[in-house]
Structure 1
Amino acid sequence: MLLAELVVPRRMDAAEVIGAGLEIAALGMGHRSIAAVLGRADATVRGWIRRFKVRAEDVRRHFTVVLVAVADDPVMPDAEGTPLADAVAAVVAAHRAATTGWPGMLTVSRWEFAGRVLGGRLLTSPSIAS
């Protein structure tokens, strides 16, 4: 069964829920507040954020390459101030470029898109899927 874009391996939550938590973390909110907003355990959200921080620079680079590959005239995201926020901005920018080039992608959320691009490895490994 192919669910890479919907689920994150070894996680109980959908990529969309984890992505929402990462987007909120990119805004500077702490894991306890995010957990309350999403109705998840503090430790769960803290784990997502810690795991993503380990991968943030690789994710940022990977999605910057994706952005350049799919956009006719790529607009690079501004530096957001933290590696986590920069990585989230790169995912958002690459997804925006993909939906501009392929309107059918509008039915795929940015975190489902990220799951597809990374083969479901949003949080599982420090190396980007090839």
Structure 2
Amino acid sequence: MLARLERFRLIAAGQAEVLVLIVDSDGLLVERRLRAGELTCPPCGAVLAPWGHGRPREVRGDLGARLFVRPRRSRCTACQVTHVLLPEVVWPRRMDAAEVIGSGLEIAALGLGHRQIGARLGLAEGTVRGWIRRFRHRSEAVRRYFTVALVALADDPVMPEAAASPLSDAVSVIAAAHRAAALKWPAMNTVSPWAFAGRAIGGRVLTCTSPTS
């Protein structure tokens, strides 16, 4: 309740808030759901309405591919908070696709350093180092979140064995939760574990709060 009152205070003061909402990568599906009133505001639960588009951005995909994204924007019909609808294949404030970052984190879980990972992925060492540092900082919170998700998704959940580091533990449980989700919903097999992870945790794989955009 206090958080909601603070949002109304910011709006009243003319400081419009913008949040990120991770959605399906199928833009046509998202548009249909948005116009049908099927998307709701996470803070207050009211219906989201169309509200233009975010700025176009280029995201680096796997094997050097370039993804051009222009996220849809929406606005809550009740609390007036604006949401950028970001497709699950990308994460907030990242120039690389979720699958690319996830591949780097999987390699890091095997014990390789950022220089080796950067060379394998063809990316700057500093970029990879930033991913790893942020994920290490978030690893325990991510591990807990996806452990709960695994228990909720699997009929007979099998917890991954303890790994060499908290980062590796977090990577393992994300993979296990994705497998459980794919068994429950076969269509999830077409979604990468890292797109699944980003959508499940609201884009907060590398950041602890919902970022602005």
- Does the aligned pair in 2 maintain the 1:5–1:113 contact within 8 Å? yes
Looking at structure 1, the residues matched to 97 and 193 of structure 2 have their Cα atoms a distance apart, in angstroms, of 12
Q: Which amino acid aligns with 1:17?
A: V
Whether 1:92 aligns to 2:175 is yes
CA RMSD of aligned residues (A): 1.2
Higher relative contact order (CA 8 A, sep 6+): 1
Q: TM-score, normalised by structure 1?
A: 0.94
Deviation at 1:4, TM superposition (A): 4.5
Q: Which residue of 2 aligns with 1:7?
A: 90
- Gaps (5+ residues) in structure 1? none
Looking at structure 1, the residues matched to 187 and 91 of structure 2 have their Cα atoms a distance apart, in angstroms, of 23
- Does the aligned pair in 2 maintain the 1:4–1:115 contact within 8 Å? no
Specify the SS of the correspondent of 1:3. strand
Report the identity percentage: 68
Looking at structure 2, the residues matched to 41 and 13 of structure 1 have their Cα atoms a distance apart, in angstroms, of 12
Structure number with the higher strand fraction is 2
Structure 1 residue corresponding to 2:200, chosen from 110, 117, 124:
117
Which one has a bigger Cα radius of gyration?
Answer: 2
Moved over 4 A (4+): none
Q: TM-score, normalised by structure 2?
A: 0.58
- Does the aligned pair in 1 maintain the 2:99–2:192 contact within 8 Å? yes
Q: Which amino acid aligns with 2:199?
A: R
| More off after superposition, 1-10 vs 99-108 | 1-10
Structure 1 residue corresponding to 2:160, chosen from 77, 80, 90:
77
Structure 1 residue corresponding to 2:102, chosen from 15, 19, 36:
19
Structure number with the higher helix fraction is 1
Looking at structure 1, the residues matched to 185 and 134 of structure 2 have their Cα atoms a distance apart, in angstroms, of 31
